[in-house]
């Protein structure tokens, strides 16, 4: 069996059906996306986020309460996952890059997604495609909406 950290999981995420992996190079290859484009790092808790970066004091409460929202802090994108199935996977992995399960700039294709995943996490009946998460860039004194 392949290294657990190098596997690509197909799973329902907090916003859509997506790929989750600790291997950004593998995700870039699957999505046919430039390797220099960054992915969102999904974390299972605020404590895990605090261990990776410093959250500006003015934004700590907002970051703690936010759902389906990603934050760019110091040039790196983070999202804290709170919904049960996705958060459970992240607790086991520790952290992972997350992205939609489709080729870059294309719509979701179930066949493509299943053919490119190493592990398919079971889908609840309510798993669906929703709009992408909001992304905000945080600086010590300002918030800038990116998406």
DSSP-assigned states of every residue in 72-95: EETTEEEEE--SHHHHHHHHHHSE
Coil/strand/helix, residue 9 = strand
Confidence grade of residue 100 (pLDDT, cut at 50, 70, 90): confident
pLDDT of residue 1: 44
> What is the average per-residue pLDDT within 19-37?
90
Q: Is 73 a residue whose pLDDT tops 90?
A: yes
Domain with residue 71: its CATH number is 3.90.870.10
pTM: 0.86
Residues 6+ apart with CB under 8 A from 79: 14, 40, 41, 42, 43, 69, 70, 71, 98, 133
pLDDT of residue 95: 92
Domain that holds residue 18: 4-145
Residue 110 gets which letter from DSSP?
Answer: H
Of 19-23, 37-41, 94-98, 119-123, give the lowest mean pLDDT range.
119-123
The tally of domains found in the chain comes to: 1
Residue 56 gets which letter from DSSP?
Answer: P
Token readout for 119 is: 């592990």
> What is the average per-residue pLDDT within 87-100?
88
Residue 14 gets which letter from DSSP?
Answer: S
């Amino acid at each position: 069996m392949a290294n657990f950290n190098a596997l690509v999981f197909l799973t329902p995420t907090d916003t859509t059906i997506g790929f989750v992996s600790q291997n950004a190079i593998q995700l870039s290859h699957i999505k046919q996306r430039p390797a220099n484009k960054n992915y969102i790092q999904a974390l299972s808790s605020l404590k895990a986020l605090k261990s990776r970066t410093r959250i500006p004091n003015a934004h700590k409460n907002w970051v703690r309460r936010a759902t389906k929202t990603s934050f760019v802090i110091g040039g790196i994108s983070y999202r804290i996952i709170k919904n049960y199935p996705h958060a459970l996977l992240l607790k086991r992995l520790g952290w992972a890059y997350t992205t939609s399960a489709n080729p870059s700039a294309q719509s979701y294709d179930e066949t493509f997604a299943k053919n490119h995943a190493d592990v398919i996490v079971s889908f609840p009946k309510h798993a669906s495609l929703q709009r992408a998460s909001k992304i905000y860039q945080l600086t010590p004194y300002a918030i800038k909406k990116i998406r």
